[in-house]
Amino acid sequence: MLDIAFAKPALPKSGALALLIHEGEKPSGLWAQLDEATGGAIARAFDVAEFTGAKGKTCTILAPGANLTRVLAVGLGKPADLAQKILEEAGGAVVSNLSRETAVTVTNSSLTAQQAAEVALGAVLRSYRFDRYRTKEKAEDKPKLSRMTVLTSENSKAKAAWEPLDATAKGVFLTRDLVSEPPNVLDPPEMADRCRKLSELGLKVEILGPKEMGKLGFGALLGVSQGSVKEPRMVIMHWNGASGAGKKPRDKPVVFVGKGVTFDTGGISIKPAGGMEDMKWDMAGAGTVIGLMAALAGRKAKVDAIGLVGLVENMPSGNAQRPGDVVTSYSGQTIEVINTDAEGRLVLADVLWYAQQKYDPKFMVDLATLTGAIIIGLGHEYGGLFSNDDELSQKLTAAGQATGERLWRMPLDEAYDKQIRSDIADMKNVGGRPGGSITAAQFIQRFVNGKPWAHLDIAGMAWSTKDTAVTPKGATAFGVRLLDRLVADNYES
């Protein structure tokens, strides 16, 4: 993880310097000092490159003098439009443009403590790499940047502002690690074991195996897992940040539930071979919940929160669930399995019913890479939001806008229920192609028992095929920052 420091403004004696510049801003402070120290090289370079400080634009100057190896200018746009997202993206731009440097100093003439911390957050998020299985990567191909110092006159306050953001970033990294792991390494028992290690952060972790879930009557979840030799798990993570460990809760907990299919072949309704390797990240909903719980514990959030993840592997075998099977869920409702590749909703059915029965939550939010249909509808720009509660939806949408992890609310309506009617059971697990993500949400809603609830279909957001401002290509950890912000803005005592 990129090492972050904060210091009073002063020109560095060596290394690289990043100037964050507003559109139309005139040279002042360190920028003016550097231009004078380099004999006007900075101003000349900006003129040649026509760099004005427009948002997202950059200009790199090699060996400008003053013992500096590089100077990078990053445009912040108009001062009136400055927002957290822009500062984070500026930090990300510093990392992506100066990855060959070992250390970089970042400055702007007027960074507040909070703004300095937000620049650092963007830089850290962009610096992520998953390279544990690369044994022959050449040293010259690896990024060298290991330390960033952000300059601000409020450097001690910036350190304090950075602490909770650092914890959130670590939660994001944990999620990205989990989602990036190959499925032969990260199966349900291994994923549960990694959850167990979060007790070091102060989380109480419970793990249920197939025997315990069988006694409870988790027929929907266990039906998905029965084709695999890898045993399923359900993990329950408790963070008692408001009431304190071992004390009676003062208020109802907030609850987060994640779909954790560590590999999804589709089962008997098997997927095409092309691209099936991507199904290692069908556990991204669970990965997000795990990273979120680590973030809440890491920053000692003043909230009572519970994270539950249902972990299974969906495989074809002589013992696999068949199309046409009828299973009895933990709620007692029966489900006709039409398509074994619509397995995530079966996992969520049992875990959500358990969550609302056991914990009587203030609300529940579930996350799942649930449907390809949501990608057809929203592409890779928004996660799908389905909810039975307008207030919760509004709070989630606002948190998404603040963090850049955006959600778009989709409809829920009784009219869609007819698509999941079964001739022989209480319901069937698919409703056909029309409105596929909606009928999936209608199915899940039958297991929330009227509790305030939101379902986030993150199938289009959990993995990126290209680098973005603060996310390298690969696992995004979409939802960790969104839900952390939801809690911070609305539910901490």
Q: Which of 176, 233, 259, 345 is catalytic?
A: 345
Q: What is the pLDDT of residue 137?
A: 87
Summarised one tens digit per residue, pLDDT across range 416-425 is 999 999 999 9
Which among 476, 471, 482 is positioned nearest to 459, based on CA atoms?
Answer: 476
**Bridge partners, residue 70, by sequence:** 16, 62
Q: Would you place residue 250 in the very low, low, confident or very high pLDDT band (cuts 50, 70, 90)?
A: confident
271 is catalytic: yes
| H or E element, residue 326 | strand 326-328
Percent pLDDT > 70 in the chain is: 100
Please state which of the ranges 121-130, 246-255, 390-399 shows the lowest mean pLDDT. Answer: 246-255
Summarised one tens digit per residue, pLDDT across range 175-222 is 999 999 999 999 999 999 999 999 999 999 999 999 999 999 999 999
| Three-state DSSP class for residue 60 | strand
Q: Which residue has the tokens 């993840």?
A: 309
Q: Would you place residue 249 in the very low, low, confident or very high pLDDT band (cuts 50, 70, 90)?
A: confident
Q: What is the pLDDT of residue 251?
A: 87
Helices and strands counted in the chain (H then E): 14, 19
Instruction: Taking residues 349-365, report their average pLDDT.
Output: 98
| Three-state DSSP class for residue 233 | strand
Q: What is the pLDDT of residue 244?
A: 85
Instruction: Taking residues 224-248, report their average pLDDT.
Output: 93
pLDDT above 90: residue 248: no
Q: Cα dihedral angle (396, 482, 448, 360), rounded to 10 degrees?
A: -100
Instruction: Taking residues 254-280, report their average pLDDT.
Output: 98
Q: Which of 271, 302, 362, 409 is catalytic?
A: 271
The pair of three-digit structure tokens given for residue 280, joined into one six-digit string: 């290692």
| Three-state DSSP class for residue 73 | strand
Instruction: Taking residues 225-236, report their average pLDDT.
Output: 98
For the chain, how long is the longest CA-to-CA vector?
Answer: 83
Q: Would you place residue 397 in the very low, low, confident or very high pLDDT band (cuts 50, 70, 90)?
A: very high
Q: How far apart are CA 479 and CA 26, in angstroms?
A: 39
pLDDT above 90: residue 274: yes
Q: What domains sit in the chain, N to C, each tagged with a CATH number?
A: 3-152 (3.40.220.10), 167-490 (3.40.630.10)
**What's the whole-number average pLDDT of the chain?**
97
Q: Which residue has the tokens 């793990």?
A: 207
Q: What is the pLDDT of residue 299?
A: 98
